[in-house]
Amino acid sequence: GAVVSQHPSRVICKSGTSVKIECRSLDFQATTMFWYRQFPKQSLMLMATSNEGSKATYEQGVEKDKFLINHASLTLSTLTVTSAHPEDSSFYICSASRHVGGGGEKLFFGSGTQLSVL
């Protein structure tokens, strides 16, 4: 199956610093990637849709200046949490959409990044 690589898997940072998370599609090109946030024992919450070569589309309530998304190539999207605060501590997961035969799409996820802001 398709592989999506996400790094780092865990990061601890001080309040006020910025953290960059990378998401790579290893064996396919992904024109669209997605960034999710997940709180303990809850479902995935879509933060933004990352489009290669264009601006990301943010969901309502997600601050675009706080969560910077860059999708500079067909295999790499990055999420930068700027001026992180403790309330930004969460599990962040990226995913990449891959078209399959017959017009279908499959969404493959990275392994997630646990962000802890002290």
Partner 1 sequence: GQQLNQSPQSMFIQEGEDVSMNCTSSSIFNTWLWYKQDPGEGPVLLIALYKAGELTSNGRLTAQFGITRKDSFLNISASIPSDVGIYFCAGRETSGSRLTFGEGTQLTVNP
Q: Which of 32, 16, 8 is nearest to 112 (CA)?
A: 8
Q: Across the strands, what pairs with 67?
A: 81
Rule CB under 8 A: say whether 102 interacts with partner 1.
Answer: yes
* Among the residue ranges 13-21, 71-79, 82-90, 99-107, the one whose residues contact partner 1 (CB under 8 A): 99-107
Rule CB under 8 A: say whether 49 interacts with partner 1.
Answer: yes
Rule CB under 8 A: say whether 29 interacts with partner 1.
Answer: no
For 118, residues 6+ apart whose C-beta sits below 8 A from its C-beta are 12, 13, 14, 15, 86
Binding residue (CB under 8 A) for partner 1 from 93, 96, 115, 117:
93
